[in-house]
Amino acid sequence: MTNPYQNTATERLITDRIRDLEHKTTQAEIASEAGFPNANMMTFLKNGRNKVPLDRVPSHAKALEVDPAYLMRLALDQAVGATAAKAIVPFMCKGKQS
């Protein structure tokens, strides 16, 4: 089985955050809080086998205690490629109140 998202910034972030949080929560609890019915999804994300589902970014960011906008940028890189993600991100910020 190939791992198309291995050695990406997303994979490294998820792996690092799970490790950093292991003193207070389990991988299964993180998966549950992120809305994944199966804890194996976290293993697939850590191994780069699956990409982060865009609809799970807010809950996943909360579970990992990371900035949701940063995780969304990384997830967009996986979903549409880095070039397209760079084109999309400015539109996400338009109209944002300071």
Each residue's pLDDT tens digit, 67-93: 998 999 899 888 877 777 777 777 766
The answer to whether residue 57 sits within a structural domain is yes
The answer to whether residue 36 sits within a structural domain is yes
The answer to whether residue 3 sits within a structural domain is no
The answer to whether residue 58 sits within a structural domain is yes
Q: Name the residue range of residue 45's domain.
A: 9-93
pLDDT tens, residue by residue, 46-68: 999 999 999 999 999 999 999 99
The answer to whether residue 47 sits within a structural domain is yes
53, 65 Cβ separation under 8 angstroms: no
Domain count across the chain: 1
Percent of the residues in the chain that have a pLDDT greater than 70, as a whole number: 92
The answer to whether residue 2 sits within a structural domain is no
Any idea what the CATH number is for the domain that residue 79 is in?
1.10.260.40
The answer to whether residue 51 sits within a structural domain is yes
Long-range contacts of 60-67 (CB under 8 A, 24+ apart): 60/34, 60/35, 62/33, 62/34, 63/29, 63/30, 63/31, 63/33, 63/34, 64/13, 64/14, 64/17, 64/18, 64/21, 64/30, 64/34, 65/17, 65/21, 66/13, 66/17
